[in-house]
């Protein structure tokens, strides 16, 4: 074979080997990606509402990653049990991150046996790919508990609350605000705190206290190394308003919170 032809054949063979090698590499990486996806273990981000009411049976949503399908949900407490009602993939609202708020959810029926409020209960999701790390539940409240009631989007629609009081609520949509009102009969120092991100919520709370004229008394975005808010303030007698919103104006199904107001802590 002429030398020039031999070089051309060798070049073609080399190109063929390189192409085969590239395709094998791509196929291997695709298989690895599929295997990695299949092997993703379930993880829980949050419960919605953030706290489980102390009633004999109630329904909650558990949001997280790789929760669909679920085989069962285990409880660490003999006083609490769970029944899986449904499992599904769910959309991530615009501007929010699936890595933070999850993209799958379970609907659970929670049963709490009579005999007091169980403490330190956790739930563990069991799926075909593994078990989630235990997720600590907030159950009941040490303070009188109410749910946030829409519409409560401004001073005119403020939801009245007492001191002390716990509110389990949710910022339902982008740019939504939850506004509460309370009265102080005598000068008093109060602490107002939001539990949200510390329990997995996507909410980055922003908390503001206004007096009856709408003048800001105190405002807090982040407190003590979390994105949750906390205000302690001394108040004279009068009517006050609390507004709670997301610092980035986000809202939706992954923005539950608990608001607690009580004498200064
Ligand atoms: Ca609202
Ligand atoms: Ca914040």
Going from the Cα of 233 to the center of ligand 1, the distance in angstroms, rounded, reads 24
Angle in degrees, CA 207, 210, 211, rounded to 5 = 155
Compute the distance from residue 204 Cα to the ligand 2 centre, in Å: 4
Most confident of 9-13, 93-97, 160-164: 160-164
Q: What is the DSSP letter of 223?
A: B
Q: How far is the CA of 154 from the centre of ligand 2 (A)?
A: 20
Determine the average pLDDT of the residues in 154-171: 97
CA 7 to each of CA 15, 18, 152, 184, 192: distance values in angstroms, whole numbers, following the listed order = 12, 16, 80, 94, 81
Q: What is the C-alpha to C-alpha distance for residues 214 and 56, in angstroms, rounded to an integer?
A: 41
Cα 172 to Cα 151: distance, rounded to the nearest angstrom: 11
Confidence of residue 202 (pLDDT cuts 50, 70, 90): very high
Contact at 8 Å (CB) between 258 and 146?
Answer: no
Contacts 24+ apart (CB under 8 A), 147-150: 147/49, 148/178, 148/259
Which ligand is located closest to the Cα atom of residue 167? 1
Give the distance (Å) from ligand 2 centre to CA of residue 206.
5
DSSP calls for 47-74: EESSEE--SSEEEEEEEEES-SS-SEEE
Q: How many CA atoms lie within 13 A of 67 on its CB side?
A: 30
CB-CB contact of 231 with 131 (8 Å): no
Beta pairing partners, 104: 64, 89
Pick the ligand that lies closest to the CA of residue 198.
2
How far is residue 174's CA from residue 248's CA, in Å, rounded to a whole number? 9
What is residue 18's predicted lDDT score, i.e. its pLDDT? 57
Ligand with minimal distance to 169 CA: 1
Number of the ligand closest to the Cα of 242: 1
Mean pLDDT of all residues in 99-121: 87
What percent of the chain is predicted at pLDDT more than 70? 84
**Is pLDDT of 239 > 60?**
yes
Per-residue pLDDT band for 39 (boundaries 50, 70, 90) equals confident
> What is the CA(83)–ligand 2 centre distance, in A?
34
Q: What ligand is nearest to the CA atom of residue 205?
A: 2
The pLDDT, as a whole number, for residue 38 is: 59
Distance 159 CA to ligand 2 centre (A): 22
pLDDT in tens, 53-74: 888 899 999 999 999 999 999 9
**Looking at the CA of 172, which ligand is closest?**
1
Give the distance (Å) from ligand 1 centre to CA of residue 77.
Answer: 34
Domains of the chain: 43-139 (2.60.40), 145-263 (2.60.120.380)
Q: Is pLDDT at 37 greater than 60 in this prediction?
A: no
Nearest bound ligand to the CA of residue 207:
2
pLDDT reported for residue 54: 83
Mean of per-residue pLDDT scores for the chain: 89
Q: Is the pTM of this model over 0.85?
A: no
């Amino acid at each position: 074979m002429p030398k020039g032809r031999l070089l051309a054949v060798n070049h073609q063979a080399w190109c063929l080997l390189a192409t085969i090698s590239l395709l094998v590499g791509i196929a291997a990486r695709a298989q690895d990606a599929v295997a990695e996806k299949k092997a993703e273990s379930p993880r829980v981000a949050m419960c919605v509402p953030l706290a489980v009411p102390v009633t004999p049976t109630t329904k909650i949503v558990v949001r997280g990653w790789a929760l669909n399908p679920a085989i069962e949900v285990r409880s660490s407490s003999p006083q609490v049990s769970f029944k899986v009602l449904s499992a599904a993939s769910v959309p991530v609202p615009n501007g929010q991150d699936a890595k933070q708020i999850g993209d799958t959810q379970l609907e659970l029926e929670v049963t709490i046996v009579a005999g007091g409020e169980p403490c330190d209960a956790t739930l563990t999701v069991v799926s075909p790919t593994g078990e989630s790390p235990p997720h600590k539940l907030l159950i009941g409240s040490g303070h009188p508990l109410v749910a946030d009631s829409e519409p409560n989007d401004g001073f005119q629609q403020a939801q009245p609350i007492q001191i002390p009081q716990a509110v389990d609520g949710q910022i339902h949509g982008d740019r939504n605000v939850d506004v509460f009102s309370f009265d102080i009969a005598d000068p008093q120092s109060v602490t107002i705190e939001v539990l949200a991100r510390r329990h997995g919520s996507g909410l980055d709370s922003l908390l503001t206290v206004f007096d009856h004229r709408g003048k800001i008394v105190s405002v807090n975005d982040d407190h003590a190394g979390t994105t949750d808010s906390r205000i302690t303030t001394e108040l004279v007698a009068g009517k006050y308003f609390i507004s709670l919103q997301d610092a980035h104006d986000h809202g939706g199904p992954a923005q539950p919170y608990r608001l607690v107001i009580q004498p200064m802590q």
